Amino acid sequence: MNKNGFFLRLRIKLLFVCFAAGIGFLLPIGASAAPITYNSDFTVSLTSPAINLTIASGSLADSVTVNAGSVEVALSQTTGGNFTVTSASRGLTAGTTGSGVGGTVALTCSSSQVQTLAINQYASSETYTITPTASLCTAPAVASTSTTSGGGSGGGGGGGGGGGGGSGFSAPVSTPTVPTAPVTVGSLQEQLNALLVKLYALQKQAREQGGASVGASPSSFAFTRNLRAGSRGEDVRQLQIFLNNNGFPVAASGPGSAGQETAFFGNATRAALARYQASIGLPSTGFFGPLTRAKIGGSE
């Protein structure tokens, strides 16, 4: 009787050990994090300073960490690499922990002093730290170029009496301007990104006011099948052309960018398609199905 009790207790202990070991093997499964996709605007709150930032719909990131006074965003080309943040309370800056190669940061400030910071990671991967400044951003009086005439040009002319009434802008004069730093591919890319951010803001404003999507023209290509991540073919390339031509760039440069469209449906294509779907009131899934085909102009 005692032997039976001893063996019964031994069996129970062995079963418990096996069960615990099985749980230990199962727990790590699925621990790898999936990319974060924002299908609608999302508000995050900082405590130092106590302000709110808005992550724009269509943003993609490998990871997002909200600290007391900053937001850390990890981006890579493989997950789309497009991330946009707006702030109505402070200006914004962005720094990197690495070399900063392979990504661009575009800053714009609206007339109502809302700062928009857009990051595009078109190659490799990088972690960005987004930090608010001490005050509101300053909206440029004209297109955001780096020329600074201001009040200094008043001393250029004897006819200065008439020009003195200006508000900080100098009237056009015939004297040549002194060239600033030479134009580089990087500076042109930053200007392009800034224009794309403005286009996105205009499209969002039009949707909020009940208007139609800005600038979306139908495609002449007949799309006849559903497309998703991993699809290949000429119809994928035509989809990328449509997105690039209508303000939803697949990539800022390199494969997938305007003029370098590819036949592969990757994460960057899915992210651009999701932004387009959100702009026309469709679920921003990044799946190219019958509803999206009908909007673009393919077969029903």
For residue 241, what pLDDT band results from cuts at 50, 70 and 90? very high
Of 82, 97, 132, which marks where a domain is finished?
132
Of 82, 100, 132, which marks where a domain is finished?
132
For residue 239, what pLDDT band results from cuts at 50, 70 and 90? very high
Instruction: Give the residue from 191, 229, 232 showing the smallest Cα distance to 37.
Output: 229
CATH code of the domain covering residue 55:
2.60.220
For residue 29, being part of any structural domain is answered with no
Find the domain containing 57 and state its range: 36-132
For residue 23, being part of any structural domain is answered with no
pLDDT in tens, 22-60: 444 333 333 345 788 899 999 999 999 999 999 999 898
For residue 182, being part of any structural domain is answered with no
For residue 268, being part of any structural domain is answered with yes
For residue 284, being part of any structural domain is answered with yes
Both tokens of 267, joined, read 């994460």
For residue 252, being part of any structural domain is answered with yes
Which residues face 130 on adjacent strands?
71, 94
Q: What is the pLDDT of residue 145?
A: 36
Both tokens of 118, joined, read 């857009």
Phi-psi region of 155 (alpha: psi -120 to 50; beta: other; left: phi over 0): alpha
**Number of H-type helices and E-type strands within the chain:** 6, 11
Residues 39, 29: Cα–Cα separation, whole Å:
27
pLDDT at 277 over 90: yes
pLDDT in tens, 131-171: 999 999 987 754 443 333 344 444 444 444 444 444 443 44
CATH code of the domain covering residue 249:
1.10.101.10
Q: What is the pLDDT of residue 284?
A: 93
Name the domain count of the chain: 2
For residue 13, being part of any structural domain is answered with no
For residue 96, being part of any structural domain is answered with yes
Phi-psi region of 213 (alpha: psi -120 to 50; beta: other; left: phi over 0): beta
Of 73, 100, 132, which marks where a domain is finished?
132
DSSP output for 178-209: PP-SPP-HHHHHHHHHHHHHHHHHHHHHHHHT
